[in-house]
Chain A
């Protein structure tokens, strides 16, 4: 039995815990540089502000309805997420964290009343201990639990899909909203007469396999109550590391662009070292502004590294080469990133006869990582990362780090 616990409007809910003035008003959370909506409170959803919309597209709505906008406060959200997950852990033998605001709890086969009562206890405890409201869907498989959670979110009460109630529970649930089915798959399903989860459940295996391959088959079994999306140990394996950001304003200056990309490179290679991996391929991309007058353009360049490496200094040399090969001074760029792929373990290194790995580099990188760990990542940077101007914006309206900084604790008044 699985319970999917899904936080309601998670980022907005976190903000409300520490700022009661935000209760019951339209609130949107914006991403750091895009100014795109990444979360909305219930009241903002009602106004029709869509997800992933850039801020300027609904400026009127903001003025007329006094919508509050806040920049994302990820230190707060990840700390609160850890608290929610820790609270959930006491209810199950195995809590599987799925995302920052969702987790699957593996449960025994209790009867329906017991499951509903358990779910109500979980909702109550998470709300009391952390202040975050959650919705809970329970079913025999994860895919069905996700559908149950959808229903629970609408009603506000936990929803259980028991073996005998699967059909009535999933009828008219849009195929596109099934876990693992996107727009394209939903279109394919329409061509074979599948428009909701119920018609999917009763479709012939052969047809599903033909149109949606093995993934579709797994979903079919899951909808029929047969669990087959177990935790995949291989999913822990990192296949790529991407570090990219949108720039606060369009950049056309080469050295400013290079400094931003150098910082991304440093972040990515640090993650690589944390996982004790080496990369053989580095890809650099830069993109122009989607909303500007000139048509949108994206440029990519990649390089195979002679020796697999995780050394920032080696990778920075590659970054400069790659950037020079695609940079055009007449264009302005709005977004850039570094992608590292083709990993091998630090323990197995094959060397190129012509290029020898420099043992001093490993010591240098280890030392830098240690300084960053103790004093913060801005204390020591590679020269390539420096630049006179900033490519990133200081977040305009970000709430305090209420739970992760002694200087930013919530204030309580002893004044009346």
Chain B
């Protein structure tokens, strides 16, 4: 047997997606243009959650990220399986607390930047209690 383990992808075992037949009756003669549209329901989970086992929701308190469009009371979709890239919005653990910040990798250093001029950036130093919990992929802001 081959030595290198391979990744095995499994089909999604969520609710079945019903595959509709064509929406109009098939008739002999010219097919209608409308026949090419197969009915489908849009599922928000499919759009927002790419890695269900690693996706968590958190709620925001505070205003330090308002310039990034993240406001108090918003729900953030957090994916732990993603490796953070510079300028991603992340949930970080600083001094045992969860915080939401923009992460910056610059000249070998890590910075956590607020998105509000009233707040100051944090430079991650040796020995600081710092960990990334996950990367924010979507911001859910209630309009009503």
Measured in the bound complex, the distance between the Cα atoms of B52 and A20 in whole Å is 22
Which partner residue on chain B sits nearest A85 by CB separation? B53
Chain B nearest CB from A124 CB (Å) reads: 11
Measured in the bound complex, the distance between the Cα atoms of B66 and A114 in whole Å is 48
Chain A nearest CB from B62 CB (Å) reads: 4
Within 8 A of B (CB), among A83-142: 83-84, 86-87, 89-93, 108-111, 113-114, 117-118, 121, 125, 128-131
The one of B5, B51, B53, B99 in contact with A114, judged by C-beta atoms closer than 8 angstroms, is B5
Binds B, one of A281-289, A302-310, A406-414: A406-414
The one of B1, B93, B99 in contact with A110, judged by C-beta atoms closer than 8 angstroms, is B1
Measured in the bound complex, the distance between the Cα atoms of B132 and A131 in whole Å is 11
Contact between A413 and B80, CB atoms less than 8 A apart: no
Within 8 A of B (CB), among A272-313: none
Chain B positions within 8 Å of A82 at CB level = 53
**Number of chain B residues whose Cβ lies closer than 8 Å to a Cβ of chain A:** 43
Within 8 A of A (CB), among B27-62: 51-54, 56-62
Contact between A114 and B3, CB atoms less than 8 A apart: yes
Chain B nearest CB from A188 CB (Å) reads: 40
**A21 CB–B CB distance under 8 Å:** yes
Within 8 A of B (CB), among A229-262: none
Contact between A410 and B81, CB atoms less than 8 A apart: no
Measured in the bound complex, the distance between the Cα atoms of B87 and A28 in whole Å is 39
Chain A positions within 8 Å of B96 at CB level = 20-21, 23
Per-residue 0/1 for A388-416: is the Cβ within 8 Å of any B Cβ (1 yes, 0 no)? 00000000000000110010011111111
Q: A411-B61, A414-B62 are in contact. Are A89 and B81 (CB under 8 A)?
A: no
Contact between A411 and B98, CB atoms less than 8 A apart: yes
Q: Using a Cβ cutoff of 8 Å, how many contacts connect chains A and B? A: 110
Chain A positions within 8 Å of B105 at CB level = none
Contact between B80 and A130, CB atoms less than 8 A apart: yes
**B25 CB–A CB distance under 8 Å:** no
Chain B positions within 8 Å of A87 at CB level = 53-54
Chain A positions within 8 Å of B91 at CB level = 412
Contact between A83 and B5, CB atoms less than 8 A apart: no
Chain B positions within 8 Å of A92 at CB level = 8
Measured in the bound complex, the distance between the Cα atoms of B102 and A414 in whole Å is 11
Measured in the bound complex, the distance between the Cα atoms of B99 and A412 in whole Å is 5
Contact between A83 and B58, CB atoms less than 8 A apart: no
Measured in the bound complex, the distance between the Cα atoms of B54 and A21 in whole Å is 21
Measured in the bound complex, the distance between the Cα atoms of B91 and A415 in whole Å is 13
Which partner residue on chain A sits nearest B66 by CB separation? A414
The one of A89, A91, A117, A412 in contact with B61, judged by C-beta atoms closer than 8 angstroms, is A412
Q: A90-B7, A90-B10, A114-B5 are in contact. Are A414 and B56 (CB under 8 A)?
A: no
Interface hub of A131, A411, A416 (most chain B Cβ within 10 A):
A416
The one of A128, A411, A414 in contact with B81, judged by C-beta atoms closer than 8 angstroms, is A128
Contact between B54 and A409, CB atoms less than 8 A apart: no
Which partner residue on chain B sits nearest A131 by CB separation? B80
Measured in the bound complex, the distance between the Cα atoms of B99 and A413 in whole Å is 5
Per-residue 0/1 for B94-120: is the Cβ within 8 Å of any A Cβ (1 yes, 0 no)? 001111100000000000001000011
Chain A nearest CB from B9 CB (Å) reads: 7
Q: Which chain A residues have a beta carbon within 8 Å of chain B's beta carbons?
A: 20-21, 23, 82-84, 86-87, 89-93, 108-111, 113-114, 117-118, 121, 125, 128-131, 402-403, 406, 409-416
A–B complex contacts, Cβ < 8 Å, 19 sampled: A20-B98, A20-B131, A87-B54, A90-B8, A108-B1, A109-B1, A110-B2, A111-B3, A128-B54, A131-B80, A409-B59, A410-B56, A410-B59, A411-B61, A412-B60, A414-B61, A414-B72, A415-B62, A416-B119
User: What are the 7 tightest A-B residue pairs by CB atom distance, in nearest-first order?
Assistant: A415-B62, A129-B54, A414-B62, A86-B53, A118-B5, A83-B53, A414-B64
